[in-house]
Amino acid sequence: MMMPLSEGAIRSNPTRHFSGVGMGWFLYDYLGRKIINHSGGLDGMLSYTVLIPEENAGFVVLTNNESPSFLIMMSKIRDMLVDAPKRDYNAEAVKQVADGKATNAEEIKKVDAARIPNTKPSLAIPSYAGTFTSQMYGDIAVAEENGKLVMRMVPTPGYVADLEHWHLDTFQIKWRPSAGYNFPRGFVTFVIDKNGKANEMKIDQPNNDLWFYELELKRTK
């Protein structure tokens, strides 16, 4: 299956002519060689497996962090095996991380600026409590504890978060340590129906592994 080449990919590797997926592997050409590769990852662990058939070579990079180091090492080892011109991938990664932090900071400013001050929830806090169900994921339970809302993702018991009022019917997600992951800032918004009942919830939690925004969560209890 062919894949389009992005402008960024072309800038990064001007010798690349094609990109695709075959039998679950990512494929592309690099300095006249076919590269067969795939990355992998879990929380706190990132890896790369690379095969270069024309060089009768292959290697695996394993890391225990979530920095760009796995990509830097993969690129450097690949380049050594195909005798590519020297390139400072570490310096490029440092710049990309800095650019990413600057972009995130700007996004945070925009969200803060859009916050409506001095608002209150439409309903009393206990009225938001209930079970909201997604056919794709399962149940998410929202309970009142000590006058505040707590969200529990039932199929993933460690995913527990306190919900702090942001504005209107939107609450900021504060994940507890049991979640085991440093999520960026996220929000839950409750949808109030014509009868004044919190009948639906939407989760806006940026994350590359679980696309929370795809969960259609309707109240079932």
Q: What is the pLDDT of residues 155-167, one digit of tens each?
A: 999 999 999 999 9
Looking at the predicted structure, is the pLDDT value of residue 6 above 90?
Answer: no
Among 219, 24, 53, 43, residue whose Cα is nearest residue 129 = 219
User: What's residue 11's pLDDT?
Assistant: 84
Q: Quick one: pLDDT at residue 208?
A: 75
Number of residues in the chain:
221
Decide if 121 contacts 169 (C-beta within 8 A): yes
Which position has the higher pLDDT, 66 or 27?
27
**pLDDT confidence band for 31 (50 / 70 / 90):** very high
3-class secondary structure, 161: strand
Assign domain 125-219 to a CATH class: mainly beta
What residues does each domain of the chain span? 7-91, 125-219
In whole angstroms, what is the distance from residue 197 CA to residue 33 CA?
61
The pTM score is 0.76
